[in-house]
Amino acid sequence: MALVVVPVRYPLTKHSRRTLEEAVEIARERDAALTVLHVDLYQNGKKVTRIDLKNAVERAVGPVESARYVVRTGFLVEESILDEVAAENADIVVIGSQQASRLRRLFRRLTDNPDIDRYLRTHLDCEVVTVESARA
């Protein structure tokens, strides 16, 4: 079964909800499992549980079949996302346009290559879907 990974903020922002909605739709269309990922930053000292994340997602989009809820702790959101994508051998990563910008900056520092899609395809063999922010 294919796997879609979608990183989101908690509490869900309007941008995270839009990205989540797109990921749920892609997972349904492709009959894929879905991993909803939130990264707690060590330096923020907040603790989000998987139950918190699951309840927020279900309030936003309803129950999601074949969904897994993951909360990771790290110093950099972008590195934690890449770690999760690699560890789970994801087929598709759905990210918001704001997250894509942050990942491009990280890639520039690490590889002198801001092309996220090509980098992930080359190093992790996955498809990247970037969701534009919802218009107000």
> Which tens digits make up the pLDDT trace of 45-101?
789 999 999 999 999 999 999 999 999 999 888 788 888 998 999 999 998 887 766
CA atoms within 13 A on the CB side of 22: 23
Q: How confident is the model at residue 4 (pLDDT cuts 50, 70, 90)?
A: very high
Q: Sheet of 92-96: strands edge to edge?
A: 67-74, 33-41, 3-7, 92-96, 127-131
Nearest to 103 by CA among 36, 123, 89: 123
DSSP category for residue 55:
H
Whether residue 62 lies inside any domain: the answer is yes
Whether residue 83 lies inside any domain: the answer is yes
CATH number of domain containing 78: 3.40.50.620
φ, ψ (nearest 5 deg) of residue 98: -65, -40
- Tell me how many domains the chain contains: 1
Instruction: Tell me if 17 is assigned to some domain.
Output: yes
pTM recorded for the entire structure: 0.86
